[in-house]
Amino acid sequence: MNLYAVKAIYQFELARTWRTLMQSIASPVISTSLYFVVFGSAIGSRMVEIDGISYGAFIIPGLIMLSLLTESISNASFGIYMPKFSGTIYEVLSAPISVVEIVAGYVGAAATKSIILGLIILATARIFVPYEIAHPFVMLSFLVLTAVTFSLFGFVIGVWADGWEKLQIIPMLVVMPLTFLGGSFYSISMLPPVWQTITLFNPVVYLVSGFRWSFYGVSDVDIGISIAMTLGFMALCLAAIIWIFRTGYKLKA
């Protein structure tokens, strides 16, 4: 593997984060902090406990997942779309580097930025709500797995998009609603039986549930199923990326 090529792409993409620090880090952290203030402190103090967990602590995994998914997709899609937009993608494709190295550079940088953001939000949450992490290793592993998986998904979106508007369609109109309806602010066991069954078709449920289990040892879905669903979605994204580079879909004019 050409580690120099991976490092060059990785460092170039990561450097953009420090140039746009307010947009990349500060803005998501401030937005999530407002959720903690409104839902965790104001409303949470008047809510009953869920599965023996205070409401403010209960929503922490869901809020981190909300930021992690949207930022992973946004970072990766923007990272690969910009070379397409500027025309420098042809220099990347003609360079003596493989598909694995290209994807590792772009996706690795996007996932790194999302993981840093997730950890900052996790630390910020301590200011507003006391919480404990029952399985820290599982929590960190699930954080990394989710960031990488949805960075791969963002990479696919960035290749598919042929305009700036399309970069926002999936995160804003699909991912965010699915996250809000995926148990971020409630347990799906609180829903009527019919809606519980319907909610299980929402893939974000498995992400939020698995991540919440790593914090408190309680979940709506078995942790094994959550990990399996995440790995399955990662496999689909990898298959899509392999097909994109084999066919040159929207990469080679």
Can you tell me the mean pLDDT for 35-52? Answer: 73
Task: State the average pLDDT over residues 149-171.
Answer: 87
Residue 41 has pLDDT above 70, yes or no: no
Q: Do 208 and 187 meet the contact criterion of CB atoms below 8 Å apart?
A: no
Task: List strand residue ranges (DSSP E) for 94-171, in order.
Answer: none
The tens digit of pLDDT for each residue in 80-108 reads 988 888 888 888 878 888 889 999 999 99
At residue 102, the 3 state secondary structure works out as helix
Residues whose CB falls within 8 Å of the CB of residue 212, separated by 6 or more in sequence, listed in order = 58, 61, 62, 183, 218, 219
Domain range list for the chain: 3-247
Model confidence, pTM: 0.90
Report whether pLDDT(72) > 70: yes
Write out the DSSP string of 180-237: HTTTSSS-GGGS-HHHHHHHTT-HHHHHHHHHHHHHHS--SS-HHHHHHHHHHHHHHH
